[in-house]
Chains A and B, each alone.
Chain A
Amino acid sequence: QQPVQSPQAVILREGEDAVINCSSSKALYSVHWYRQKHGEAPVFLMILLKGGEQKGHEKISASFNEKKQQSSLYLTASQLSYSGTYFCGTYYGQNFVFGPGTRLSVLP
């Protein structure tokens, strides 16, 4: 059991926007977003909690539809530094499961 992400990969030009989606067939109580650059550890971006609370970085926004068990991460006015693989994740019990990832490439 794992979250599903779409798209698998995105290629953008600097300044363009992107949306990355995450969904689960099991009930979601929270959705976490991480970014991993090549050869580095994942870095926390944002958490969305049931009830609408969000905690994360100012320049990144996300939504969480509890009924549809979906979350979307919005990257606006992308910069070269946004390149990396974006993972959503959630707890199933104490087991934290990442989605398969969305590879984002921002070109100059």
Chain B
Amino acid sequence: EPEVTQTPSHQVTQMGQEVILRCVPISNHLYFYWYRQILGQKVEFLVSFYNNEISEKSEIFDDQFSVERPDGSNFTLKIRSTKLEDSAMYFCATRGAYEQYFGPGTRLTVT
């Protein structure tokens, strides 16, 4: 069964550093999403991406965040200057006909 993969599984970074989180979506899916989940809280929408463009973004997705499909397959989330409050699990998801398939997540720890 096709699956969404994410790398790295865990990233530790210092405050102010840039991080890039990577996702390989399911190949025939067209809609991609990034979500964030702070420990013990609900899953929060960050951004949706379709046809190589952002289709919607939440208030959380400020100028520090960006998304790209650098090579037509991978899908990346970049945080330019990390803050302590960016520590969370980041999930990539892709959408089939209706449902979203989530990757296993990247745990980002900002120290």
Contact = CB atoms under 8 A, between A and B. Distances in A.
A87 interface: yes
A96 B34 CA distance: 10
Contacts of B71: none
Contact of A94 (B43, B48, B101): B48
A65 B105 CA distance: 33
Q: Is the interface of B mostly helix, strand, loop or mixed?
A: strand
Given A93-B56, A94-B48, A98-B42, A55 B104 contact: no
A99 B103 contact: no
B14 interface: no
A95 B45 contact: yes
A44 B55 contact: no
A42 B45 CA distance: 13
Interface residues of A, number: 21
Nearest to A44: B99
Given A42-B43, A87-B43, A95 B102 contact: no
Interface of B: 33, 42-45, 48, 50, 55-58, 91, 98-105
